[in-house]
Chain A
Amino acid sequence: AQTVTQSQPEMSVQEAETVTLSCTYDTSESNYYLFWYKQPPSRQMILVIRQEAYKQQNATENRFSVNFQKAAKSFSLKISDSQLGDTAMYFCAFMEYGNKLVFGAGTILRVKS
Chain B
Amino acid sequence: DAGVIQSPRHEVTEMGQEVTLRCKPISGHDYLFWYRQTMMRGLELLIYFNNNVPIDDSGMPEDRFSAKMPNASFSTLKIQPSEPRDSAVYFCASSLSRGQGIEETQYFGPGTRLLVL
Contact = CB atoms under 8 A, between A and B. Distances in A.
Contacts of A50: 105
Contacts of B97: 99
Contact of B102 (A33, A47, A101): A33
B48 A45 contact: no
B107 interface: yes
A105 interface: yes
A70 to B, nearest CB: 16
A101 B106 contact: yes
Interface string B12-56: 000000000000000000010100000000110100101000001
Interface of B: 31, 33, 42-43, 45, 48, 50, 56, 89, 91, 93, 95, 97, 101-103, 105-108, 110-111, 113
25 contacts: A31-B102, A32-B102, A33-B102, A33-B105, A37-B108, A43-B110, A43-B111, A43-B113, A44-B110, A44-B111, A45-B93, A45-B108, A45-B111, A46-B108, A50-B105, A99-B48, A99-B97, A99-B103, A100-B45, A100-B48, A100-B56, A101-B45, A101-B106, A103-B42, A106-B42
